[in-house]
Amino acid sequence: MADTPQKVVSRPLSPHLGIYRWPITMATSIVHRMTGVALAGSTLLVAWWLIAAASGPEAYDFFGSIAASLLGQLVLFGFVWSLAYHLVNGIRHLAWDFGYGFAPSTANKTGVLVFALSLLLAVGAFALVYLGKGGYYQ
């Protein structure tokens, strides 16, 4: 019985990221969890800002110079977008808790709306600041 050829059985491959299509509801759920983790980590930035403000002008100027850099602006935008996304998707989840929006077409539409509205809110907040309407550059 030694050296008898084995017949190879071709089995279907399970779906993987290269071929699997993410439904919008799955993407919104994953991003909601990611933004929650990002917001938890961003509390360190808020704490740094408050400590710098309490420590005097030199410490606050140092924080301000880092926050005003390109990397600092990207981090701040990510923080603001995470906050907006988590808020808007949290409202969506609240509607689900009351039993609204479970139809697949409604869930898909509100999923796209969450992404669009959170991006609009984040861009709008930055536009207010850069235009001087937020009181920051006045």
Do the domain assignments include residue 5? no
CB 25 within 8 A of CB 111: yes
What's the structural domain count of the chain? Answer: 1
pLDDT range class, residue 11, cuts 50, 70, 90: low
Task: Establish if 14 belongs to a structural domain.
Answer: no
- Buried/exposed code over 101-129 (b: 16+ C-beta within 10 A; e: otherwise): eeeeeebeebbeebbebbeebbeebbeee
Considering only residues 91 and 5, tell me which one the structure prediction assigns the higher pLDDT: 91
The verdict on residue 137 lying in a domain is: no
* pLDDT at site 18: 67
If you average pLDDT over residues 7-17, what whole number do you get?
Answer: 67
Give a yes or no: residue 12 inside a domain.
Answer: no
Nearby residues of 27 by Cβ (< 8 Å), 6 or more positions away: 111
Q: For residue 40, what pLDDT is reported?
A: 96
Give the range of the structural domain holding residue 88, as residue numbers without chain letter. Answer: 24-130
Q: What is the CATH number of the domain that holds 113?
A: 1.20.1300.10
Q: Which of 138, 130, 114 is nearest to 73 (CA)?
A: 130
On whether residue 11 sits in a domain, the answer given is: no
What is the per-residue pLDDT across 64-118, written as a single tens digit (0 to 9) for each? 999 999 999 999 999 999 999 999 999 999 999 999 999 999 999 999 999 999 9
In a domain, 4, yes or no: no
In a domain, 39, yes or no: yes
Residue 101 lies in a domain: yes
Q: Which pLDDT does position 129 carry in this prediction?
A: 87
Question: Do 125 and 80 contact (CB within 8 A), yes or no?
Answer: yes
pLDDT for the residue 91: 97
26-56 pLDDT per residue, tens:
999 999 999 999 999 999 999 999 999 999 9
The four Cα atoms 21, 26, 32, 37 give a dihedral, to 10 degrees, of -70
